[in-house]
Amino acid sequence: MNKKWQIYETDENKIKEIQEKYHINKILATILANRNITKKEDIRLFLEPTRNDFHDPFLMTDMKKAVDRIINAIEKQEKIIIYGDYDVDGITSITVLKSFLQDRGIEVGSYIPNRLEEGYGLNKEAIEKIVKEGCQLMITVDCGISSVDEIAFANSLGLETIVTDHHEPGNELPQAISVIDNKRKDSNYPFRELAGVGVVFKLIQAIGITLGLKEEEYLKYLDIVCVGTISDIVPLINENRVIAKLGLMLIRQTKNIGLRSIINSSGYTKIDSNSISFGIAPRINACGRMGKAEEALELLLSKNINHVNELTKQLNEHNQLRQETEKSIFENAVKKIEEEHLDEGNSIIVGGENWHHGVIGIVSSKITEMYFKPSILLSFEEDGIGKGSGRSIPGFDLHDALTQCNDIIEKFGGHSMAIGITVRKERFLKFREKFEEIASKAHIDEIMPVIQVDSKIDVKDINKEMVESLKQLEPFGEGNRMPVFVFKNLKVDSIRALSEGKHLKLTLKDNNTIIGAIGFNLGHLAEEYRIGDKIDVVGVLEINSFNGVDSLQINMKDIMRSAK
């Protein structure tokens, strides 16, 4: 698949000014300029944030109302329940708030809806159960902003609610005591993009300030807040960057034995955003996907090492089952796509019998990545109802497209890049036909994947110190991707496919300088290039440690023949 390489237009004078004024190397100065981080305070905040860089939590709309009500509940020893989501953000949100409130000496319960049986968000059956248990105050975390009817129902039963959320509100806010969400239209908070657990952190910070607690009483949870923030793929800028940067430092010496156990079992030795995203998050998420979210919560709350070890083992088993289930559905879906030639259209909509609801969203992501087309996967049950998930590509609004199919589908929700959907089996083909018509009018076949390139680099100018300096830009993630560079006119010195043709391994020569290169999932290109060919490469610079020896390496994202 052809990809467009888009190289930043660099302002050499600005780069030189940053380099000299702040005593950093040219490559760091270039990347900061590309990200429009050019002022002294912005550079300091990006490279070396401190605990003093958190915004005032009372700038959040309704924060004081929430704090006053919770302190009142603490004083009266009321029974509080926290209602959260089943993903990493929700589970870490419950962990942080429950731990903090229990340290204040109050009884706190928690409720996580079963993904497979109840779905996302508040439901009336759960609220009835909570009321019967004698709870007087419900605090939602990572959910609740769209639960207008459910919170009205809670009010009718005498259950008071505080909403903390980070999702987009609808036209009507729920009638709760307090609704804390920076995406409210009347919000004046200086940052909109906190994860659900970030909003919870601001809540405990505000309670801590009001009660005159030491900063450590809420800052000590930044390890868990960091895990939820990075896992929820919110932009790692502004206050999220402060959370992630300080939180990663705390994770390296975490006192949470559950978190430490997950890290150890993941096999990652370096604690960074990568180990959170690919080591910790999948294991916690697997519990929610397989309908066992409570086990992940228990793990992060437990103080018993034997219990923690047993729960970690269960998390790994859930994750393994999730991987096997995902692999099976993916192979089944690809087979259907190829047999029915669905990849020849502008979109891919495929259905299967009894596919696991908890993983089809991941499979849809892989299908979209594989074919670079919007995809929707549906699982049909015996009652003829198909429930599924969809993922899109930049430039095509999936939510808007489904709005145009309202007369065919039962219901849907989500945003431009990801949706959940319900369709009756007898309307499946009609839906697929209508969606394809919408996709064709959007000229999806003309949309090309874009790789943003920070700078052109000559291989001879690369050294270990320069690559090490890029670590100052960590943590990487949404809104702060790893720097990508272009290397031109390199001669192929050796080339081979690895892992049964899946990956590509090269050595590349620039005059007398040789550098290794690895291309994950680029193994199919092994037959297109020969030793001696001149190529251009885009990729990430990294240090490859093998058998105790460090060597510089390009982690390739794409290759093309050099222009003659």
HEC string of 389-451?
EEECCCCCCHHHHHHCCCCCCCEEEECCCEEEEEEEHHHHHHHHHHHHHHHHHCCHHHCCCEE
- Integer-rounded Cα Rg, in Å, for the chain is 25
Strand partners, 542: 553
Q: Which pLDDT value is given to residue 1?
A: 63
Strand partners, 506: 495, 517
Contact 392, 418 (CB under 8 A): yes
Q: Which pLDDT value is given to residue 202?
A: 98
For the chain, give every domain's residue range: 57-238, 252-323, 340-446, 452-561
Backbone angles phi, psi at 150, to 5 degrees: -65, -40
How many C-beta neighbours within 10 Å does residue 501 have?
A: 11
Residue 62, both tokens: 């309704």
- Helix 12-22 vs helix 40-47: crossing angle, to nearest 10: 70
Strand partners, 390: 376, 419
Contacts 24+ apart (CB under 8 A), 248-252: 248/272, 248/273, 248/276, 248/474, 248/475, 250/220, 250/222, 250/223, 250/226, 251/223, 251/226, 251/227, 251/276
Q: Residue count of the chain, please give it.
A: 564
Where does 57-238 sit in CATH, by number? 3.90.1640.30
Q: CA 36 to CA 298: how far, in whole Å?
A: 42
DSSP 3-state of 375 = strand
Q: Is the model's pTM score more than 0.85?
A: yes
DSSP 3-state of 24 = coil
How many C-beta neighbours within 10 Å does residue 274 have?
A: 16
Kindly report the CA angle at 366 between 501 and 399, in degrees rounded to 5? 155
Q: Which pLDDT value is given to residue 250?
A: 96
Instruction: Collect all residues with Cβ–Cβ distance below 8 Å to 346 and sequence separation of at least 6.
Output: 373, 436, 439, 440, 442, 444, 445
Contact 270, 223 (CB under 8 A): no
Instruction: Collect all residues with Cβ–Cβ distance below 8 Å to 9 and sequence separation of at least 6.
Output: none
Question: Distances in Å between the alpha carbon of 190 and those of 39, 166, 498?
Answer: 18, 14, 48
Q: CA 74 to CA 564: how far, in whole Å?
A: 74
How many C-beta neighbours within 10 Å does residue 429 have?
A: 11
The single residue listed with the structure tokens 């030491």 is 214
Q: CA 181 to CA 143: how far, in whole Å?
A: 10
Contact 101, 74 (CB under 8 A): yes
Question: Distances in Å between the alpha carbon of 492 and those of 4, 85, 150, 182, 522?
Answer: 22, 50, 62, 51, 15
Where does 340-446 sit in CATH, by number? 3.10.310.30
Q: Which pLDDT value is given to residue 404?
A: 93
Contact 66, 42 (CB under 8 A): no
Indicate the burial class of 527 (C-beta count within 10 angstroms; 0-12, 13-18, 19 or more): exposed
Q: CA 158 to CA 171: how far, in whole Å?
A: 25
CA atoms 333, 335, 340, 341: torsion sign: positive
* 180 DSSP assignment: E
SS3 per-residue string spanning 528-551: CCCCCCEEEEEEEEEEEEECCEEE
Fold of the CATH domain 452-561: OB fold (Dihydrolipoamide Acetyltransferase, E2P) (2.40.50)
What are the percentages of helix, strand and coil residues in the chain, rounded to 5?
45, 20, 35
DSSP 3-state of 300 = helix
* HSE toward the beta carbon, residue 36, CA cutoff 13 A: 2
Strand partners, 545: 550
> Which amino acid is residue 347, in one-letter code?
S
Contact 519, 541 (CB under 8 A): no
DSSP 3-state of 168 = coil
pLDDT averaged over 10-residue windows placed end to end, the chain, 564 residues: 85 90 90 90 92 97 98 96 93 97 94 79 92 96 92 96 91 95 94 96 98 97 97 91 96 96 91 92 89 92 95 93 92 94 93 87 92 93 87 91 91 82 93 94 86 92 91 91 94 92 93 92 90 95 85 94 84
Q: Which pLDDT value is given to residue 115?
A: 74
